[in-house]
Structure 1
Amino acid sequence: MDLMNWIWENSRMDQKSRPNWSLCNFLQSDKQYYQWQFSKCLEYAAKRGDLVRVKWLFDHFKECEVPHHVIYAAAETGQLAVLKFLLNHDYGVYGAKIDSPEVKKRKVESEIDVQSRITVKWGSRNVEHALCNEHPEVAQWFYKHVPKGEYDHGDDRIRNLISGALDAGADEFAEALVPQGSNILDFAMDCNRLEVIERLVDGGYFVRDDFNAARSIEALVRADRLDLMKRISTQQNFPPDHAVHWESHWFYAMSNACHTGNVSILRWLIEHPLGRILLKVEKRSKKLNGLILRAAEGGHTDVMEYLHDEGIITEYKYALLLAIRKNQLGSVKWLVQHFPQSEIIPDYCIMDEAAKFGRIEILEYLQSLDASIIPGWAPIHTSRNGETGQTALATIRVSPTDANLKVYKGAVQCQATWLPTDPMDHASANGHFDLVKWFDSNRPEGCTTAAIDAAAANGHFEIVQWLRVNGKRGFTTKAMDGAASNGNLEMVKWLHENGGAGCTKAAMDRAASNGYLQMLKWLYTNRSEGCTINALEGALGRGHLHVVCWLQMHYPQYSPSNMDIEVFTDNKFEIFLFVHIHYAYILTRTFVQDILGDDMRGNPNGNDAYIFNWLQEKYVEE
C-alpha cells in the first residue's frame, strides 16, 4: 500500500509539469491510461479477494468503469465479499435512485456509497461462470442481486442454469429455478453428475433424447458405471437415427476407457453393435490408433493387449514415444515386444526421446536388449566421432527443443534424421547428469560442443564442470550467449573467467529481449561486444520497459524500425506511451491498425478497449 500511495502522490495532473519521462506523469493526466490502470489493478485485486486494495482504488479513482472481466475474475475465484462491495458502490445501480427511501436507509447502514461515481458493467453469464468454477454460493448471489436487466431469462437460459447448478451440486438452487409445474429432470439432460444421470435413467428420459444418451455414455466411463451404460443402451434403438453424434461420443467413451484402464467397459463398448459400426467406419483412418496412445500413457498393458488382439491398432510408434515421455516402463516393454517389423522409426529417435526426458531406467532396459529388436535404437558399433545418423524414410513427430536444446514438454515437431550424438547432447542440455555419465560409460557416440554449450546456457553447472574436466568438448560463444539469454548471471561470470570463448552481440540482444536488466548492466561493464538494434526492438516488443529505458540511455544511437516492433504484452499500453513520447514516428495509422488487428478494431475487449480508444484519439482521428 505504501508504494501505491507514493505513486499516486507523485502522479501529476498538469501535463505542463512533466519535465521527464515517467509513467506517473500519465496516471492522472491521461483519461484512457487512468481507466486502464484502474481496471487492471481492480482485476488483480478482485481475483485475489483483496478487499483492502479494492477499497483503496475506489477511494482514489473517480468516474471510472468496472469492466465485465473484473466481475468474471472475482466470480472465478469465489470472491463474494468483493462482489458485494462492487454492487454497493455501483453508481449505475444506485446513482439515479440516491434519494429513494430504500437507498437512503442502506446509506445510513453504510452499505451503499456511490461518491466515486464508478459504474459496474455486470454483463451476463456470471451465474454460469460461478457454477463452472464450483462457487454455487456466488451463483445464487448473482441471480438474486445483480440487476435483472443484465440477464436474458429465456427458456434456454433457465435450462442452462439448472443444469449448471446440478453439475455443481447446488440442488436447492436448481430446484428454486424450476418453473412452476415443471419437473427438475426436464431441465437436467445436459448434466454430467452421476446422481442426476442415474435419476434420468430411472425416469426413462433417455428414451426420447438420443443425443444426451450418447453424451451420458461417455460421462459414465469415468465413473466406472457399466451398469448404467447398459441401461441407457436398452433405452435406445441401434443403430440410432442420428449416428453422427453417437459415433463421436462412443469413440470418446472408448478413449476414456483406455485412459482409465477399464478393460471390461472397453470390451463392452467395442463389442456393442455401435462399437462394431464405429470400427468399420474408422477402419481406414488413423483415428483408432489414438486408443493405444491413451492406454500407453497410463501404463495399461492389459488394454493394449486387448486392442492388439482385436486387430484395432495399425500404428505403434507414437505410443512408444509417448510411453517414454510419461516414464511408463511397462508400456515400453510391451510395445517393444509387439512392435511390427513393417513400421519404421529412424535410428537414435527412441534413444534421443528418452535422453530429453531423463528416462534412465528405460534406457537401461533398452540397452540390455539386442539392438536389432528395438525400433528407433542404434547399432552398438557406431563410431564415437560419427557425424550422421540413419536417414529416415519419413518424418516422425517428436518433442521439440529450443535454441538451447531445452525440451518443450507437451509440444511436437516433425523430424526425419538424428545425429548419433544427439542423445548425449540433449541429456546435457536438459540437466540429466546421471544420463550424461551413463551415455559416457555405456554408449560409444559421445557428444558435440552443443552438450557443454547448452548445459551452460540452461544453468547446469555440475554438468558443465564434469564435461570440462573430462575433456569431452570445449565451449563456443553459444555458451555465454545462451546463458545471457536465460538470465543466468552467475554462469556468465563463470564463463567469462573460465570459458575462453567469449560471446557475441547476441548475448546482450537476447538478454534485453527477455528482460534481464542486471545481465545487460554486467555485460555492458565487463564485455566489449555491445548489442544491436535487436536489443531495443526485442525489449519493446516483449514489454520490458525498464530495459528499454536503460538501452535508450546507453545506446542513444539506436532507433527502432517501424516494421519490427510487435506489442503483444500485458503492459502494452505503457509501451505505447513510451513510444508516443520517444519514437512517435513508429505509430503511423497503418502501423496502429496492424497492431490492433481486425478483431480488436471491430470489437475491442477488456482492457484493450482503453488502448484502442487512446490510439484512436492520438493517431487515427487526428
Structure 2
Amino acid sequence: MAWLDEHTPHENDQDEMDEVIGVAANGGSVAFAETILPPDTRVVNYLLDYAQPDAIQWLLDNGFIKKNKDASAFAILTLARTGNLDLMKQVAKLHSRKRLNKDWIDKWDWAMDSASERGDLAMVKWMAEDRAGRAVLARIKDDSVFNICKMLDSAAKTGHIDVLQYLFEHGWPDEDADTLLNAAAGGQLDCVKWLLDNAPPYSQDNNADGCSKFAMDKPAQNDHLEVLKWQHANTDAGCTTSAMTNAAFNGHLEVCKWLHANRSEGCTASAVKFAIGNGHLHVAYWLRLRYPQFIPEHNRLWKYPLNTFDMLIFLQDHYPTVLTLEFGRGTKSDLRYENARGGDHLIAQLLDPKYPGHPTESRQLVMWPIMI
C-alpha cells in the first residue's frame, strides 16, 4: 500500500486520503495509517466506530476503549460478528454495567443476535449470563418495547439447535412464533423436527399452527424442496399462492412442479411476469403450459435480464399479444438508453423494422419485490 501511495500518478485529495486511512486503521494496519495522517491528526479519530478486531486490540492496548463507552459498545458488536470472545470479555470488563444505557443494551442485543446466527454457543452463554444479557431478556419480555433482533430466529434459520436449546432452557421467549418458520425458511429440516418436538408450548393466540397457512411459502421461495415435502407429509403446514409465485421469481422449477402436483393453491399472474423479468426461461415456459390464462401485460419489457433477447423471442412465440407496437417501441428505447448494456443496441436494431418510431407512453410502474 505504501508503494502504491508513492508510485501511482494519481494525487489523492483529502477525502480520499481519509478513506484510505480509515480502511487501513480499522483493518488493523494502524502503524501504516499513522504514517499518512494529516498534520495534527490522531489515528484514533478514524477508529472508534468501525474498528475490526486487530484495531480493537490496538485501542484496548492504548487505553482508548476504556475512555469511550460508545466505542466499546461498537466493539462488542464487531467482536460478536467475528467470534472473538476473549477480546470481548476484555472490552466488557472495562465498563461497569450497573447502569446500562439504551445504546449499550441495543448493541448487546444485536451482538447476541450475531453470535446466535453464527452458532457460537460459548459466546451466547457468556453474553446471556452477563448483566447486559439479563437486561436484553427483560426488554424482550416487555410487551411495551419493540424489539428488532431475535436471536432464536437467527439460530433457527442457520440450524444451530444447541443455541436454541440453551436459549429455550433459560427462558428466552419465541415472541411471534417465528422460530419454526425461520428454520423452515432456512432449509434446516433437522432444526424443524427438533423444534416441533422440543420448543416450549405456544400461547393460544400465538402458536405454530396459527402460522401454518403460510409456513411453506418461504421454503418454496428459497428452494428447500425436502423441507416442503416433509412439512406436507408430517404437519398441518400450508402455503399460499406466494409459494409458487416466489419460487418462479427465483427460478426454482422443481419446486414449482412439486407444488403444482401436490398442492392446490397454484400461483398468481405475477409468477409469469417474475420468471420472464428475471430471465428464468425454463420456468416461464413451464408456467405457460400449466397456467395459460396468465398473460403478462405491460407497455414495454418490465425488466431486462441478461438473456433479454431469449425472453423477447419467448414472448413473441408464446405471448404474441403482448408485443404491441407500443411495447416494441418502449422496449427498443429502453435498450438504447435507460437500460443500455453491452450488445443490447443490437437487439434494438432488430426491433426497428417491426416497431418503428418512438414510444408515445411513459413507462408503466412495475413493483418488483425484494426477496429476503
TM-score, structure 2 as length reference: 0.70
Q: 2:219 aligns with which of 335, 354, 377?
A: 354
Q: 1:431 aligns with which of 253, 256, 261?
A: 253
Q: d(CA) in 1 for partners of 2:95 and 2:303?
A: 63
Q: Which residue matches 1:226? A: 85
Q: 1:236 aligns with which of 77, 91, 95?
A: 95
Q: d(CA) in 1 for partners of 2:332 and 2:317?
A: 20
Deviations 1:25-53 (A, max 9, x none): xxxxxxxxxxxxxxxxxxxxxxxxxxxxx
Q: Which residue matches 1:204? A: 63
Q: Does 1:295 align with 2:155?
A: yes
Deviations 1:535-570 (A, max 9, x none): 3224424536545554443244x652254489xxxx
Q: Does 1:406 align with 2:228?
A: no
Larger Rg: 1
Q: Which residue matches 1:52? A: none
Amino acid at match of 1:540: S
Superposed displacement of residue 258, structure 1: 0.7
Distance 1:540 1:455, change over 3 A: closer
Q: Which residue matches 1:248? A: 106
Superposed displacement of residue 330, structure 1: 2.3
Q: Which residue matches 1:531? A: 324
Q: Does 1:553 align with 2:346?
A: no
Q: d(CA) in 2 for partners of 1:305 and 1:522?
A: 51
Q: d(CA) in 2 for partners of 1:273 and 1:225?
A: 19
Contact 1:178 1:184 in 2 (8 A): yes
Q: Does 1:277 align with 2:135?
A: yes
Q: For 1:85-100, list aligned pairs within 5 A.
A: none
Amino acid at match of 1:204: G
Q: Does 1:167 align with 2:29?
A: no
Q: 1:194 aligns with which of 49, 53, 62?
A: 53
Deviations 1:489-512 (A, max 9, x none): xxxxxxxxxxxxxxxxx5995499
Distance 1:453 1:401, change over 3 A: closer
Q: d(CA) in 2 for partners of 1:524 and 1:185?
A: 62
Q: d(CA) in 2 for partners of 1:512 and 1:300?
A: 38
Q: Which residue matches 1:543? A: 339
Q: Does 1:377 align with 2:238?
A: yes
Q: For 1:387-466, list aligned pairs within 5 A.
A: 401=245, 406-408=248-250, 430-432=252-254, 436=257, 440=261, 443=262, 445=264, 458-460=280-282, 464=286
Q: d(CA) in 2 for partners of 1:292 and 1:335?
A: 11
Amino acid at match of 1:151: Q
Q: d(CA) in 2 for partners of 1:565 and 1:355?
A: 29
Q: Does 1:340 align with 2:198?
A: no
Amino acid at match of 2:238: W
* Unaligned 5+ runs, structure 1: 1-135, 379-388, 391-397, 409-428, 483-505, 567-622
Q: d(CA) in 2 for partners of 1:526 and 1:186?
A: 61
Distance 1:224 1:560, change over 3 A: closer
Amino acid at match of 2:54: E
* Unaligned 5+ runs, structure 2: 366-372
Q: Secondary structure at the match of 2:360?
A: coil
Q: d(CA) in 1 for partners of 2:27 and 2:263?
A: 58
Q: 2:72 aligns with which of 213, 223, 226?
A: 213
Deviations 1:203-233 (A, max 9, x none): 4332211111111112222343333222222
Q: Secondary structure at the match of 1:553?
A: coil
Distance 1:305 1:539, change over 3 A: farther
Q: d(CA) in 2 for partners of 1:455 and 1:187?
A: 44
Amino acid at match of 1:377: G
Superposed displacement of residue 322, structure 1: 2.9
Contact 2:214 2:238 in 1 (8 A): yes
Amino acid at match of 2:359: P
Q: 2:14 aligns with which of 145, 151, 173?
A: 151
Contact 2:220 2:244 in 1 (8 A): no
Distance 1:209 1:307, change over 3 A: same
Q: 1:476 aligns with which of 250, 273, 292?
A: 292
RMSD: 4.8
TM-score, structure 1 as length reference: 0.45
Q: 2:191 aligns with which of 331, 334, 341?
A: 331
Contact 2:300 2:327 in 1 (8 A): yes
Superposed displacement of residue 296, structure 1: 1.2
Contact 2:184 2:192 in 1 (8 A): yes
Q: Which residue matches 1:489? A: none
Deviations 1:583-612 (A, max 9, x none): xxxxxxxxxxxxxxxxxxxxxxxxxxxxxx
Q: 2:181 aligns with which of 303, 321, 328?
A: 321
Q: d(CA) in 2 for partners of 1:400 and 1:252?
A: 33
Aligned length: 346
Superposed displacement of residue 377, structure 1: 3.5
Q: Which residue matches 2:369? A: none
Q: Secondary structure at the match of 1:287?
A: coil
Q: d(CA) in 1 for partners of 2:214 and 2:275?
A: 24
Q: Which residue matches 1:605? A: none
Amino acid at match of 1:307: L
Contact 2:109 2:149 in 1 (8 A): no
Superposed displacement of residue 187, structure 1: 6.5
Q: d(CA) in 2 for partners of 1:141 and 1:188?
A: 24
Q: d(CA) in 2 for partners of 1:377 and 1:523?
A: 33
Contact 2:212 2:238 in 1 (8 A): yes
